[in-house]
Amino acid sequence: MFHKEKLKSINPKDHVLEIGPGVLPHPRADIYLERYFKTEEVARSQRGNESGIFYQKPVIYYDGGRFPFEDEEFDYVICSHVLEHIPLEELQQFISEIQRIAHKGYIEFPSVFYEFINYSDVHKWFMNYRSGSILFLDKAIFKSNNVHRIFREIFYGKDPYLHSAFKRFKDFFFFGFEWNETINYKIVDSFDALIDQDDYEFWKKYFSEKEPVDNKYKKFPLIRKIIRLIKYV
């Protein structure tokens, strides 16, 4: 999860579920819901190839379809980096089930821009968040190739500088928001529908106003010098 600061509506006494806790479950969750996978190899691929995960909270496993909980059983549901894994034939029911078991929660997912750099076969969608609605575009529209593989090596090689861009530009690479009562979403059929002119203008302004890292340390010339050395070594 990259936007923990956006989880503002969890009350101290809320009963909280996290769906698909993955490698770093949220500490506020009281219970986890995890999908049952037929093999450990498949499970690892869905968790970013991480293994040996041990949860400190109870885990409920299910095999798809209806969640094994009563209506409004939870006060808050965390669903972080899960929606991109849900195939088309399950998406509508999955979102409906989230709304059935709670009236509010938090959703986070990688943006289409992240998917182009870190193309993953287990992610089913290119996604955007605009005007309070999640937009889904089937990734079958653009298959992975060696271009994607090379971009991934740039960001996941030994040099940590580019990898740190995911945190520095987390608003660009990862969308996160709280919802109340209803999760609005739409399946679109083209890149033009997924990313429109308003999106372009927004991100153009975002990057034009983004302050360089070393400018934050104008009052600390030694730190600024070290940062510049790290950038170009």
Domain ranges of the chain: 4-195
36 vs 87: which has the higher pLDDT: 87
Question: Could you read off the pLDDT of 95-136 as tens digits, one per residue?
Answer: 999 999 999 999 999 999 999 888 888 899 999 999 999 999
Residues 6+ away with beta carbon under 8 Å from 11: 75, 76
Q: What type of residue is 217?
A: Y
pLDDT grade, residue 2 (50/70/90)? confident
- What's the chain's average pLDDT? 86
* Lowest-pLDDT choice from 37-51, 67-81, 117-131: 37-51
Position 135 scores a pLDDT of 98
Question: Could you read off the pLDDT of 152-177 as tens digits, one per residue?
Answer: 888 778 877 777 888 889 999 999 99
Q: What pTM value is reported for the model? A: 0.84
CATH fold of 4-195 reads: Rossmann fold (3.40.50)
Which phi-psi region, left, alpha or beta, contains residue 46 (left: φ > 0; alpha: ψ -120 to 50)? alpha
- The mean per-residue pLDDT over the stretch 141-150 comes to 81
Is residue 228's pLDDT more than 60?
A: no
